[in-house]
Amino acid sequence: MSSIFLRIYGGLLFTLVLVAVLSGLALTIINGVRLQDFREAAARGTFRVMSQQLEASSETSWPERLEGWENLLGITLSVIPEQDEDLGRQTSSELAEGRVLIRAGDGDNFEVYSRINDHTLLRGVIHDLNDQLATGTATLVRDWLAGIPPARHHIVLQDRAPELFGYPVSLVSEVPEQLSQRQLTMLDRGASLALFRSMGRSLMVYSRMPDSRQYLVLGPASILNAYPFKLLVTLGLFALASLSIAIYVLVRGLERRMSKLERAALRLARGDLDARVKVHGGDSVGQLAAAFNNMASHIQRLLSIQKEMIRGVSHELRTPVARIRFGLEMVDDAESKEERQSYLRGIDGDIEELDHLIDEILTYARLEEGVPDIRFERKDIDAIVERVAEEFRRNKNTQRKDGSRVLVEHVPCRMLETRRRSDVEERYIHRAIQNLVSNACRYANSKVQIRFSVGHDTCRVDVEDDGPGIPEEQRERVFTAFARLDDSRTRASGGYGLGLSIVRRIMHWHNGKAMAGESKALGGARFSLVWPRRQRGR
């Protein structure tokens, strides 16, 4: 299950990184818009007042005014024709409505544009929104109001200040009591005073009107906070919602795949052996689904083999049991001791045949039902082949019914002894070769050849005979349990139809294969075993 957790953790990590990137991008975009609005609100009133004063004065006085304002505000000012700037129709329309245009400049600088008249713009380059700009704006507004009759000050501020300024502008008779005597003295001398409030989150600017007991107050003007609480809460909720959705998607996908596996398991439990799971992927769920499908296929195959074996065993047992029953009846009717002994020897042969059949069935069942006890060791395969050939040369199994014997010939391998070695379970490889030779002797006319060869990564054993051979369309069927072919390979030749099935299963557990073909050297059948020289994990 570790791969599932790794997948979930990987998905969550990816989501965290994605959410962090998106949150950072959103914060950058939002703060960019907020900074633009903040700069416009801070500069709008200052530049609109300067633009109106320039519009109301002659152009010859503009240089002097601009120089005075530059010293007052600490910024760079210039007057430019509107056609020199590529502003666009929408921007020109906004400037005509009294707005100011903010553009990013070099470094931390930003440019401010304000319309003076139909063809001229006031351009300013602001390096920083500092105290000098704030106090200079208050002085500028005070001088602007000084040109208006005092009786109209409140009316002008009430009607035009909300349109011109992005912060409150008012006239008051008293200043805050917390101002020190030194600050009051500065105000009385005509200086403007900037004070921060609410722990630096807003700014108030005071300036005393000339020849009056009233004070001009600008603000409170909010100071831009790059990380306000509401914005952080919004981004936090966005991150939590994104993580929740990611967790839901990951867990939902996992739950859906596990549900498919559960439904397939229930179908298999109800007896539907064709139940399979269509779950892909290399994680633990995919591996579990593949293991389930393999298990279902194995169970289906075992049950098929079991049915096949029941049918085959019942058929194979019927003949020797019938012969034994007939032999017992003949023993009772025997007239002489010699005749009785002959029948008893026949019964003993039938019992031996039953014993051999049971041994074959048990071996086949053991190889089919699960992983047998296989312990791979490095063995000289050619020596095993020679030993099998010698066993058959000494064994009466090579003797035919007409008294002739089948010649079992071993063609020696010319490789060095180290090259002839391979990872095998010796008793099973010996059994596989023995079954092939026994099968070949049963159908050969006079000769059987056994040959061992070694490739770069594989070993091969070929057993050939000079018998009738096997039709090409039936070469795969001979490896089926209890299978027999045409009259040339009938029960008259002996065997139970399990030998070649055992050979194929032995090759399966050796990660190899068993094949049937035609012998070019002898003209009969050729059976071949091929498996890797080195087994995996060794």
pLDDT digits (tens, 9 = 90+) for 43-58: 888 898 899 889 888 8
CATH of the domain at 435: 3.30.565.10
Q: Which of 220, 122, 128 is nearest to 165 (CA)?
A: 220
The pLDDT of residue 519 is above 70:
yes
Q: Which amino acid is at 348?
A: D
Tell me what pLDDT residue 487 has: 43
Final residue in a domain of this structure, among 201, 222, 243? 222
The pLDDT of residue 401 is above 60:
no
Q: Give me Rg for the CA atoms of the chain.
A: 52
CA distance 306 to 20: 60
Tell me what pLDDT residue 20 has: 83
Pick the range with the lowest mean pLDDT from 35-49, 148-162, 302-316, 509-523.
302-316
Helix axes 62-73, 131-146, angle to 10 degrees: 140
Q: What's the average model confidence in pLDDT over 351-365?
A: 72
**Which 8-state DSSP code applies to residue 173?**
S
The pLDDT of residue 506 is above 60:
yes
Per the structure, the count of domains in the chain is 2
Buried b (16+ CB within 10 A) or exposed e, 466-483: bbbbbeeeebeebbebbb
CA distances in angstroms from 423 to 33, 380, 381, 389, listed in the order given: 74, 9, 9, 21
> What would the two tokens of residue 26 be?
């959103």
The pLDDT of residue 462 is above 90:
yes
CA distance 313 to 507: 23
pLDDT above 90: percentage of residues in the chain: 10
Tell me what pLDDT residue 488 has: 43
**Is residue 270 in a domain?**
no
CA distances in angstroms from 497 to 22, 490, 516, listed in the order given: 70, 10, 15
**Is residue 393 in a domain?**
yes
Final residue in a domain of this structure, among 189, 204, 222? 222
Tell me what pLDDT residue 492 has: 43
**Is residue 345 in a domain?**
no
* 3 state DSSP class of 217: strand
| 78 against 251, higher pLDDT | 78
Phi/psi of residue 81, each to 5°?
-65, 140
* 3 state DSSP class of 124: strand
Q: Which of 309, 308, 320, 362 is nearest to 491 (CA)?
A: 320
Tell me what pLDDT residue 154 has: 83
> What would the two tokens of residue 23 be?
């949150």
The pLDDT of residue 445 is above 70:
yes
* 318 contacts: CB under 8 Å, gap ≥ 6: none
pTM for the full model? 0.49
Tell me what pLDDT residue 490 has: 43
The pLDDT of residue 168 is above 80:
yes
Tell me what pLDDT residue 493 has: 46
**Is residue 266 in a domain?**
no
The pLDDT of residue 178 is above 90:
no
| 538 against 415, higher pLDDT | 415
Tell me what pLDDT residue 489 has: 44
Tell me what pLDDT residue 369 has: 61
CA distance 424 to 375: 8
Q: What's the average model confidence in pLDDT over 522-529?
A: 90
Confidence label for 460 from pLDDT (cuts 50, 70 and 90): very high
Report which secondary-structure segment, H or E, holds 4. helix 2-56
Confidence label for 67 from pLDDT (cuts 50, 70 and 90): very high
**Is residue 347 in a domain?**
no
Phi/psi of residue 227, each to 5°?
-130, 70
Q: What's the average model confidence in pLDDT over 446-461?
A: 90
CA distances in angstroms from 300 to 275, 293, 304, 309, 361, listed in the order given: 10, 10, 6, 14, 19
Domain encompassing residue 199: 2-222
Tell me what pLDDT residue 314 has: 66
Yes or no: say if 463 and 433 are a contact pair by the CB < 8 Å rule.
yes
Yes or no: say if 359 and 400 are a contact pair by the CB < 8 Å rule.
no
Q: What's the average model confidence in pLDDT over 133-157?
A: 86
Confidence label for 78 from pLDDT (cuts 50, 70 and 90): very high
Pick the range with the lowest mean pLDDT from 222-226, 243-247, 396-400.
396-400
CA distances in angstroms from 131 to 4, 57, 138, 287, listed in the order given: 59, 28, 11, 69
Q: Which of 505, 502, 508 is nearest to 532 (CA)?
A: 508
| 300 against 447, higher pLDDT | 447
The pLDDT of residue 206 is above 60:
yes
CA distance 329 to 467: 38
Q: Which of 197, 191, 189 is nearest to 168 (CA)?
A: 197
Final residue in a domain of this structure, among 200, 222, 244? 222
| 118 against 51, higher pLDDT | 51
CA distance 298 to 312: 20
**Is residue 260 in a domain?**
no
**Is residue 342 in a domain?**
no
Tell me what pLDDT residue 287 has: 79
Yes or no: say if 496 and 507 are a contact pair by the CB < 8 Å rule.
no
Tell me what pLDDT residue 491 has: 42
Tell me what pLDDT residue 400 has: 59
Given strand 202-208, what is the order of strands in its sheet?
169-172, 215-222, 202-208, 192-197
Phi/psi of residue 172, each to 5°?
-130, 160
Yes or no: say if 133 and 89 are a contact pair by the CB < 8 Å rule.
no
CA distance 375 to 377: 6
**Unique residue bearing structure tokens 């002996």:** 494
Pick the range with the lowest mean pLDDT from 4-18, 289-303, 335-349.
4-18
Yes or no: say if 493 and 525 are a contact pair by the CB < 8 Å rule.
no
Tell me what pLDDT residue 452 has: 92
Tell me what pLDDT residue 383 has: 92
Q: What is the mean pLDDT of the chain?
A: 81
**Is residue 82 in a domain?**
yes
Q: What's the average model confidence in pLDDT over 377-399?
A: 82
Q: Is the dihedral of CA 10, 13, 19, 22 positive or negative?
A: negative
Confidence label for 355 from pLDDT (cuts 50, 70 and 90): confident
Tell me the H-state helices in 57-180. 62-73, 89-96, 131-146, 153-164
Pick the range with the lowest mean pLDDT from 51-60, 154-163, 165-174, 482-491.
482-491
| 307 against 1, higher pLDDT | 307
CA distance 185 to 331: 146
